[in-house]
Amino acid sequence: MMPTQVDALQGEAASDTPAKRGALAQLLHALNQPLTGLQCSMEVALARPRSSEHYGDVLRAGLELTERMRGLVETIREVVDIEAEEVGQAETTELASLLREAVEDLTPVAEVKKVQIVLDCPFASALTGDCIRVTRKQTPLGRFIFRLLDSTLSMAALGTELRIESGRETTRVGLRICWQAEGPPAPFSRPELGLLIAQAWVEMVGGEWERAARDDDSEMLNVRLPRVS
């Protein structure tokens, strides 16, 4: 088979900026998998005459792969838009306020899933204790905080706890999110894609992103964002 255009893009992403080696490189790698599968199934179907049932199976499988690719392409477009965003006037926002707003919006969803959201922001009342500063023109900070919490809440198992903690460091504001997953994460499901978009935003504003999974299906996400000194 001839190499796809995604292969070339993937090679470029691997040698580009740290942000592109993160979320975008993962998305390009994920896109290559269903694209290659679709190409292979079509080549096999055309290799020799097949039954109508076989062609039907190929079409159904192709539609599923196409749907996966469509979701990945939409996510890639959003990540590229984030990375292409120009630097603008500095915006300073208290992280605790954004977290409280997102938790309030997501409380009805948590109640349906019977997931308890525990929010711990010890520096919320301290002057600039957990204020973050970004210099982007169009980035709505609250949108990405909401997406981050919405994705982790979607991954949390029924009847468990979603713990959100923020803490002040010397030059950073730390955000830790812990949850008990229902099982191994589905590759590039809607919540996983939401986390990749949030990761791209964190990296573009100069933050750090670290996600770790444990043997008991619990997961922990550590995010560090620039703090106002």
Considering the domain architecture, whether residues 59 and 169 belong to the same structural domain is answered as no
Query: What share of the chain has pLDDT > 90, as a percent?
Result: 30
Find out whether 103 and 153 touch, Cβ atoms under 8 Å.
Answer: no
Looking at the fold, whether 111 and 126 belong to one and the same domain comes out as yes
Question: Does residue 15 register a pLDDT over 60?
Answer: no
Q: Are residues 102 and 213 in the same domain?
A: yes
Q: What is the pLDDT of residues 103-156, one digit of tens each?
A: 999 999 999 999 999 999 875 544 445 677 665 555 667 888 999 999 999 999
Where among 84, 103, 130 does a domain terminate? Answer: 84
Q: What is the mean pLDDT of residues 84-107?
A: 81
* Stretch 30-34: mean pLDDT: 88
Q: What integer pLDDT is reported at residue 127 of this predicted model?
A: 46
CB 13 within 8 A of CB 20: yes
Are 52 and 130 in a shared domain?
no
Do 114 and 211 lie in one domain? The reply is yes
Q: Are residues 210 and 100 in the same domain?
A: yes
Looking at 22, 54, 84, the residue that finishes a domain is 84
* pLDDT value of residue 122: 72
pTM for the model stands at: 0.73
- Sign, CA dihedral 152-200-76-34, equals negative
Rounded CA gap, 196 and 10, in Å? 16
Q: Which two tokens stand for residue 17?
A: 């900026």
Size (the chain), residues: 229
How far the first Cα of the chain sits from its last, in Å, is 55
Average pLDDT rounded to a whole number, residues 184-188: 73
List 185's β-bridge partners, or say none.
none
Res 10: pLDDT:
43
Domain identity same for 179 and 105:
yes
* Domain enclosing residue 25, as ranges: 5-84
Q: Does one domain contain both 67 and 143?
A: no
**Higher local confidence (pLDDT), 208 or 124:** 208
Residue 186 has pLDDT above 90, yes or no: no
Structure-model confidence comparison of residues 114 and 80, the more confident one: 114
Q: What is the pLDDT of residue 138?
A: 52
The CA-based angle 147-92-24, given to 5 degrees, is: 40
Asked if 143 and 79 sit in the same domain, the reply is no
Query: Which tokens sit at 74?
Result: 């939409």
70, 32: one domain: yes
Mean pLDDT check: name the lowest of 40-44, 143-147, 182-186.
182-186
pLDDT exceeding 70 applies to what percent of the chain? 79
Partners of 221 in the β-ladder: 177, 211
| Unique residue bearing structure tokens 């922990």 | 220
Residue 186 DSSP label: P
**Co-location of 75 and 139 in the same domain:** no
Burial class (CB in 10 A: 0-12, 13-18, 19+), 52: exposed
Q: Same domain for 128 and 184?
A: yes
- pLDDT at residue 7, rounded to an integer: 45
Where residue 227 falls among pLDDT bands split at 50, 70, 90?
confident
In total, how many domains does the chain have?
A: 2
CATH classification at residue 116: 3.30.565.10
Whether the per-residue pLDDT at 201 is higher than 60: the answer is yes
- Of 29, 57, 84, which residue constitutes the final position of a domain? 84
Q: How does pLDDT run across 96-117, given as a tens digit for each residue?
A: 888 999 999 999 999 999 999 9
Measured between alpha carbons, how far is 86 from 203 in angstroms, rounded to an integer?
14
Q: Which of 222, 112, 221 is nearest to 159 (CA)?
A: 112
Instruction: Provide mean pLDDT across the span 85-105.
Output: 80
Report the 10 Å Cβ neighbour count for 70: 11
Task: List, for residues 155-181, the tens digit of each pLDDT value.
Answer: 999 999 999 998 887 778 889 999 998
